[in-house]
Structure 1
Amino acid sequence: MSTTRPPLPRPPREDLLIAAAGLVGGLAMWALGLFNNPRPPLGGGWVLLPLAVMALAEALRRTAPSAALALGAVALAGDLVTRSLLATIVMFSDVVYAAVLYGGPRLSRAVPPASAALTAAVTVGTLTAVRDPQALLVGFVCGLITVGPAWTGVIVRDHRNAAAAERLRAEQTALLAEMDRVQAVTAERSRVARELHDVVAGHLSAIAIHATAAQSLDDRAATGDALAVIRENSVQGLAEMRRLIGLLRTAGGDEEVSAAPTLDGLDALLAHARRHGAAGGLSFALRDERSGGPLPAPVELAAYRIAQESLTNALKHASPGEVTVVLTSPGGDGEGDGGGGGEGSLTITVTSPCDRRPGPRAPGSGAGLVGMRERAELLGGAFVAGPVEAAGGTRWEVRAVLPLGESARNAADGGSGGSGGSGGDGTRRRGGA
């Protein structure tokens, strides 16, 4: 099967203008009788033929550098056996320059040493033939029209390649900077989303539960109590929203650290849950089995938020019974399965009664489980949630293992927006705010 070669591209306008200018200049020199060789082997108008061929080579200097160089060499040889025009020689030097600058890698590497070898051969040959030191001028002129343009093309080509490499490097740097910016924005948005969910979802869940109770009860006193709880949670949720908005508007990080909750606030968190869960037959207990010194701030914040979200889910989904929160660390009784519990980690376990009811008392989107998993994974820890079989029946268990020490601080400082999806890696979703 024969293949047809694609046609040569049209020469650029600049090359056509250069060829036309060289041709016009050569014709002017011919008309004025300005020749380089007074006694040529071929006289008359033969000098115009090399001039025309060299003009054609000039027109092809960029579109076909190899062909242009071959035509230029033939035209130069023809010019030397005629009266020789300076315009033809000057155009040949430009063809050599263009062959190095616009030709392929092999051509650009071959032309400079070939021009140097040609210059040396012409110089030695002329000295041998005439045996006159003035023959060195012939070698000088040959080098001027071959070696000089060739190495000039090498220098310009190297500069262009360096400039292209720098532009590419600048584009890659800009792309990496944009990727870093997008990742930073995504991480910050994920962090803000987790904080908004964990802080506000509990109040909104309580509002939804008590609003449902107020609609279904005919008792005026019970309805009043439910409305009072709704108003309390509305005020608290609004205050939390204003606090978070204030933190987002401030640039300093100290304010945020000072405002972040710690595990010392778990008692108040459980007391709040008891007030809202008593009507549904829920009781709450805290077992703090930790030992050792203070915990890193990122670990305390993550543990508090995981406990807060677990209690919120218990208020929404759990059947009547006891909800327990257990904290263990090195030296405690718990080992923290599911991903590296024990030495160097804090394990928080929240269990609640689970009766596998078809629907929750308040709607949920599942974002709570995603947020808890993200908090654990940002610290290099592990998270699992799902029903487990216990002595008293099926219970819903949330367990997070959070590493302690410098690795947790580094993970919290350098972690990107949550990578954990829901429902995978042993996490079974039961719902969430």
Structure 2
Amino acid sequence: MAVRPPRPRRFDVHVALGGLLGGLLLWGVGLATRPHTEPYVLLPGRWPLLLPLVVMAACELLRRSAPRTALLIGTPALVLDLVTQGNLVTILMYTDLMYAAVLYGPPASAHRIPRITGLLSVAGTVVPFAVWREPEALLIGVLIGLVAFGPAATGLIVRNHRDAAEAARLRAEQTALLSEVDRVQAVTAERSRMARELHDMVANHLSAIAIHSTAALSLEDERTSREALAVIRENSVQGLSEMRRLIGILRDGAGDREPAATPTLDGLGALVEGARANGLDVVLDATHDSLPAPVELAAYRIVQESLTNALKHAAPGTVAVRLRRLDDGLDIRVTSPYGGRDTPRAPGSGAGLIGMRERAALLDGTFEAGPESGPDGTLWAVRACLPVTDTTRGELE
């Protein structure tokens, strides 16, 4: 399959046409760089000037699509121009080919060409002066430097600036991409946190409301119905208060309302009393000292969700809540009678265990939940171990 040659750029076409027309203009008026009487003009006359001019203009078409090929073809054309009377435009187009070969060519050529042309400039200065011992011989090296080394060095400087700008642009794009990834992760993490908070705050109260409203509707005893309605009202008020606190946190950008809405282990007593009011037989055994706020919040929510699950799913019996401060963390254990109930007393979303496991994982803790055998029968046991380290305290302070 034949490979089509690369099409020249529009700008390159304009450069080639401009150079060709300019060279023809100088050729038409008879303006050359050297008189025909000089000894090294091997091809005197006007017509030999056209061949290197046309070849150099054709090379300009390849200055960006094939810069090395253009330079390799343009160099013999320049040598041919040197043995004629010379055309200034031919030399100028060659300097552009040298510049383009460094700027648009491969990296290896971009660094090799300036070194080669620099050595040729030095050799063109030293060797003729050493042979002829004439000051004018130094001009040969100067001309080589102006025609070859100068454009090559300029192309290398421009290429380095271009590569640096491209690298800076890529770094900026990568930084923007990483920032977007961090933003998405932060939004996802915040949504998960708010989902856990909403579930833990609202599920407990709504479960109690659902259970007691069912009892109030199914029983004909007026006293029992009034007690159930009182519990419903209390849980409604508490749930509404929790929701208002959470909404206040969301609306307050300064975050100074966070402490008022963050429960601590000091509130376990009130939490247990509320569970007892909802009909659970709860025993609390808690021994702990001051803990970091995230640990206390996670422990409180785990106990709260465990009591909510016991209210919905546990069989009649005692629910035991135990908290122990260990050397390396806080151990939480909540057990409730398991079995004997076909359907839950209130519907649930199934996200309670997931939320508790996520809270423990965020603190690099462990979480387990499942049935286990005990002296009083089968129990549903929830256990979490939340580590407390100096790093955790330092991050909080």
TM bucket, shorter chain: over 0.9
Deviates more, 1:174-183 or 1:136-145: 174-183
Q: Cα RMSD over matched residues? A: 2.0
TM-score (ref. length: structure 1): 0.86
Shift in Å, 1:128: 6.0
Alignment-derived partner of residue 19 in structure 2 = 22
Match 1:325 to one of 321, 340, 344: 321
2:290 counterpart letter in structure 1: P
Shift in Å, 1:185: 2.0
| C-alpha distance 297-124 of structure 1, shift in aligned 2 (>3 A) | closer
Alignment deviations for residues 394-432 of structure 1 (CA, whole Å, 9 cap, x no partner): 11111111112323346779xxxxxxxxxxxxxxxxxxx
2:314 counterpart letter in structure 1: A
Shift in Å, 1:207: 1.4
Counterpart-to-counterpart distance in 2, 1:6 and 1:223: 91
Match 2:278 to one of 269, 276, 279: 276
Q: Trace 1:338-377 onto structure 2 (pairs within 5 A).
A: 343-355=327-339, 357-377=341-361
Structure 2 gaps, min length 5: none
Counterpart-to-counterpart distance in 2, 1:97 and 1:249: 61
Counterpart-to-counterpart distance in 2, 1:199 and 1:124: 89
1:11 counterpart letter in structure 2: P
Alignment-derived partner of residue 42 in structure 2 = 41
Contact persistence 2:292–2:396 (CA under 8 A): no
Q: In the alignment, is residue 392 of structure 1 matched against residue 376 of structure 2? A: yes
Shift in Å, 1:158: 0.7
TM-score (ref. length: structure 2): 0.93
Shift in Å, 1:381: 1.3
Contact persistence 2:30–2:46 (CA under 8 A): no
Alignment deviations for residues 136-162 of structure 1 (CA, whole Å, 9 cap, x no partner): 112211110100000111111111111
Q: Trace 1:240-251 onto structure 2 (pairs within 5 A).
A: 240-251=242-253
Alignment-derived partner of residue 429 in structure 1 = none
Q: Trace 1:278-317 onto structure 2 (pairs within 5 A).
A: 282-290=280-288, 293-317=289-313
Alignment-derived partner of residue 235 in structure 1 = 237
Q: Secondary structure at the match of 2:134?
A: coil
Q: In the alignment, is residue 403 of structure 1 matched against residue 387 of structure 2? A: yes
Structure with more relative contact order (C-alpha pairs < 8 Å, separation 6 or more): 1
2:42 counterpart letter in structure 1: P
Contact persistence 1:378–1:411 (CA under 8 A): no
Alignment-derived partner of residue 8 in structure 1 = 5
Counterpart-to-counterpart distance in 2, 1:411 and 1:398: 28
Alignment-derived partner of residue 159 in structure 2 = 157
2:391 counterpart letter in structure 1: S
Number of aligned residues: 392
1:387 counterpart letter in structure 2: P
Contact persistence 2:246–2:261 (CA under 8 A): no
Alignment deviations for residues 295-344 of structure 1 (CA, whole Å, 9 cap, x no partner): 222221111111111101100110111001001113xxxxxxxxxxxx12
| C-alpha distance 26-129 of structure 1, shift in aligned 2 (>3 A) | farther
